[in-house]
A and B are shown apart, each in its own frame.
Chain A
Amino acid sequence: GESVGLHLPTLSVQEGDNSIINCAYSNSASDYFIWYKQESGKGPQFIIDIRSNMDKRQGQRVTVLLNKTVKHLSLQIAATQPGDSAVYFCAENTGTASKLTFGTGTRLQVTL
């Protein structure tokens, strides 16, 4: 069946470095993708989204890249800060049903 998965369960980066979190999806019909950040004990928080008619979208310190050819999504965080430490989920919407399918999640650890 369709799935959204992440390559690395844990990513450790030094403060000030750039972080790249990757995500693979298998449903070529997906037309909307979203990244969430979840801190311990909290609900997921929206970071950035992208629709399938785009291949790049930038926010404040974050960039999402979408490669539909290889069904790959990435989240880039510039100048990573300790406050960025959290679990990051990618999710996709597969068209008519307004439901998101979530991946496993990647834990980002920021070291000083």
Chain B
Amino acid sequence: EADIYQTPRYLVIGTGKKITLECSQTMGHDKMYWYQQDPGMELHLIHYSYGVNSTEKGDLSSESTVSRIRTEHFPLTLESARPSHTSQYLCASSRGQGFYGYTFGSGTRLTVV
């Protein structure tokens, strides 16, 4: 069982609302990532962090922002949700030394109406 948790699992929200997607991991991993995935499609990296107070934008431009104040917590925020933000958002983490792949959370499916 993966020790990385995302909440909520599903979210339907109106246009213009501010939302925060939560991601927490209990593995002590330094590196954390946010990917965006449309149904049946590939995963696109939107944000990543190599440790506390470190955040970087990913390969896919996103209007969302992230913060990393604690090692275990990597929330993603959308200040004003739009229908184009409708997607699945996947959080992942990996160990700090070397590279060993990711552990993924179950994802948050966001629908903006």
Contact = CB atoms under 8 A, between A and B. Distances in A.
B90 A43 contact: yes
A102 B40 contact: no
A25 interface: no
A49 to B, nearest CB: 5
A44 to B, nearest CB: 5
A61 interface: no
A32 B40 contact: no
Interface residues of A, number: 23
A34 B102 CA distance: 9
Nearest to A42: B106
Given A43-B107, A102-B43, 17 more contacts: A41-B106, A41-B109, A43-B6, A43-B92, A43-B106, A45-B104, A49-B100, A87-B40, A89-B42, A89-B43, A98-B94, A99-B48, A100-B45, A100-B102, A101-B45, A102-B35, A104-B42
Interface residues of B, number: 28
User: Which applies to chain A's interface (DSSP): helix, strand, loop or mixed?
Assistant: strand
Nearest to B48: A99
Given A42-B106, A98-B50, A34 B42 contact: no
A49 B101 contact: yes
B2 to A, nearest CB: 7
Interface of A: 32, 34, 36, 41-46, 49, 87, 89, 91, 93, 98-105, 107
Contacts of A46: 101-103
Interface in B71-113: 90, 92, 94, 99-107, 109
B2 A43 contact: yes
Given A44-B90, A102-B42, A105-B40, A34 B106 contact: no
A103 B37 CA distance: 12
B94 A105 contact: no
A103 B42 contact: yes
Contacts of B90: 43-44
